[in-house]
A and B are shown apart, each in its own frame.
Chain A
């Protein structure tokens, strides 16, 4: 129940600070782009757009959300409230993944080419969860937004470029172990989608584990300060 309240609270926050408006604008833009593209490129373009934006936007926005909560002392209040670090983490991950999924489905269903609805949905949610969890890790380890952006640059480069290259089918088979490649494999409903799902789940567990221990540390430190 607490988790549900946290998710609702985070969604309200995201609406208030324009995330939903922003992605309404971008959804329209992506739909226009896909409508204008030649028919034979739509499948690749849909996967490219969804992978490079809705799937990973949590990585970029997590820093600003967390640092804003720290500056506004919201985080201090949450630390003394009866919520667990795991609720805090999943409140953020679920709310951001929901927005990613809505945007991905809107764009994909209206103008894109979705080979398989199940794999497409799983890929967006899994991608968003992993990248948002990584965003959470770096958000708590940096104290200014500029530092946060610097810290996520390598993640963006090494996390996304292999995924994009996989769309052109130019990577060796073993690159499926890369999380970005595995997510793209599911987005396009490739022949190795089941393997990709298992690999993505393993990456998710790793990302959640590191993110949770980072949040736990921070909760512990704030509780200590508040005492």
Chain B
């Protein structure tokens, strides 16, 4: 445990050296302020300019979902870039043969960051959401988006040989977020084409609280993590 905490402190030191730590602390709050006050303000301007009664307000729940995803996604992106940097410099190989071990390294990088990002996104959505959230739904969605971001981080790390590819893969993995939008814009069976994206079920869960969405969101998320873990383990063993 001591080794894990030391390794996590090392991560914090690196992030604070880059200035990323301050961003991770303040950007979720700034984003929250923008979503909570900026979006309704923009809605006023746009509806007036377009002479419509509502444009953005129909999608306030979607903005809340983005808010719940931003924090874990930012944490996972910053941590993945640090991990790729450590991989390039062969630091990971050295760390995993110390008492930290490979699992300890993963916990210190992805595990603790995920727990923190889960707690931060809980707070951010609680204070800045545009729609009403029940406590159960709030915990469920924030937990699922945090778990999803572990999968995304592992995917970026596994599929990149260096930081250039890291950025390209990070952008590619952003497609996963598309699933959040689908239930709001596509109706009928065509929307289930996006059923392989955990985000699709997360969004559906907030619109229709049916048992199918719960079962599918867990099944698809576990399948994603397991699928990515094979390549991740292989890369960590190199």
Whether A71 lies near B167 (C-beta < 8 A) is no
The tally of residues in A whose CB lies under 8 Å from a CB in B reads 24
B81: Cβ under 8 A from any A Cβ: yes
A22: B residues at CB distance < 8 A: 168, 171-172
Asked whether A18 and B165 contact (CB < 8 A) given A146-B78, A146-B81, A170-B49, the answer is yes
B23: Cβ under 8 A from any A Cβ: yes
Whether B18 lies near A150 (C-beta < 8 A) is yes
How many Cβ-Cβ contacts under 8 Å join chain A to chain B?
62
A17: Cβ under 8 A from any B Cβ: yes
Listed in ascending order, the chain B residues whose CB lies under 8 Å from chain A are 15, 17-20, 23, 45-46, 49-50, 78, 81-82, 85, 88, 162-169, 171-172, 175, 178, 185-186
A61: B residues at CB distance < 8 A: 164, 167-168
Interface of B is mostly: helix
* Interface-centre pick from B78, B171, B185 (highest chain A CB count, 10 A): B171
Whether B162 lies near A146 (C-beta < 8 A) is no
A202: Cβ under 8 A from any B Cβ: no
Asked whether A29 and B168 contact (CB < 8 A) given A67-B163, A144-B18, A170-B46, the answer is no
Which residue from B20, B49, B175 sits with its C-beta under 8 Å from A146?
Answer: B20
Whether A71 lies near B49 (C-beta < 8 A) is no
A174: Cβ under 8 A from any B Cβ: no
1/0 contact trace for A134-166 toward B, CB 8 Å?
000000000011110010000000000000000
Whether B163 lies near A64 (C-beta < 8 A) is yes
Complex: A84 Cα to B82 Cα, angstroms? 33
1/0 contact trace for A57-74 toward B, CB 8 Å?
000110111011001000
